[in-house]
Amino acid sequence: MSIEHIWLAIGFLGQGLFFGRWVIQWIASERTAESQVPIAFWYMSLIGGLITLAYAIYRADPVFISGQGIGTFVYIRNLVLISRAKQAGAVKGDG
C-alpha cells in the first residue's frame, strides 16, 4: 500500500466520522421528536475535523485547511461551554 493510499484512507475516515455526526444528531432528534445536538455530535465533529484537517494539510489545500481549521475552534468552544454548563449544574445542585 502506497503513502497516497494511506492518506486517502485517512481522508475518507475523517469524512466518514464527520458525516456520522449528522446521523447521531438525527437519531437523537428522532428519539425526542425535537431538534437535539448531543455531545457526541461535537466530539465526532472535532475528531473527524482534525483527521480531515491532517489530510488537507498533507494535500496542501488552503481552502480545505482553513475550513477545517476554523471549524476546530468552534467544536472545541462548544465542548468547553457544555463542560462549564455541566460543572455549574453540579455546583447548583450541590447547594
State how far the Cα of 47 lies from the Cα of 84, in Å rounded to an integer.
20
Relative orientation angle of helices 3-32 and 39-59, to the nearest 10 degrees: 160
State how far the Cα of 59 lies from the Cα of 36, in Å rounded to an integer.
34
Question: Does residue 84 contact residue 39 with C-beta atoms inside 8 Å?
Answer: no
Amino acid 91: pLDDT: 61
Domain tally for the chain? Answer: 1
Question: Model confidence over 28-69: pLDDT tens digits?
Answer: 999 999 999 999 999 999 999 999 999 999 999 999 999 999
Q: Which range of residues forms the domain containing residue 38? A: 3-94
